[in-house]
Amino acid sequence: MTLFEKIIAREIPADIVHEDARCIVFRDINPQAPIHLLIVPKKPIPRVGEASPDDEAVLGHLLLVAGRVAEDLRIRSIDKGFRLVINHGAAGGEAVPHLHIHLLAGRPMQWPPG
């Protein structure tokens, strides 16, 4: 069971801000911005590059949920804004082998990212 499956199963506590049949959204335990959420599919897809065509709908759902959560947090307007990040593999910065989208906001974002 992955760490995030344990959060989904309520075996590990998390600050959950959204849940539906296909995903869960909770606050990152080590936030890198004033707002730092993780958008996680309930299906334990290890990482984005290993998703299959069967996962197309859930992948799209995660992005739509990102927009809805951003609206709930009042950061969706283009004068505010947010950043989505997916880390794949060791060089990509992946630590938890369960696909997740980072949603970061509340400070200016640098480009290029580190």
Which residues are near ligand AMP by CB under 6 A? 3, 12, 14, 28-30, 38, 87, 93-96
- Closest to ligand AMP by CB, 3 vs 84, is 3
Write the Ramachandran bin of 12: left for phi over 0, alpha for psi from -120 to 50, otherwise beta.
Answer: beta
CB 3 to ligand AMP: min, Å: 6
Element (H, E) at 103: strand 101-105
- Tell me whether residue 98 is one of the annotated catalytic residues: no
CB 12 to ligand AMP: min, Å: 6
Burial of 69 (0-12, 13-18, 19+ CB in 10 A): buried
- Closest to ligand AMP by CB, 79 vs 100, is 100
The first and second tokens of residue 61, run together, are: 């759902």
CB 50 to ligand AMP: min, Å: 14
Q: Which of 61, 88, 98, 100 is catalytic?
A: 100
Q: Taking every pair of C-alpha atoms in the chain, what is the biggest distance, in angstroms?
A: 40
Three-state SS at 14? coil
- Closest to ligand AMP by CB, 57 vs 91, is 91
Catalytic residues: 100
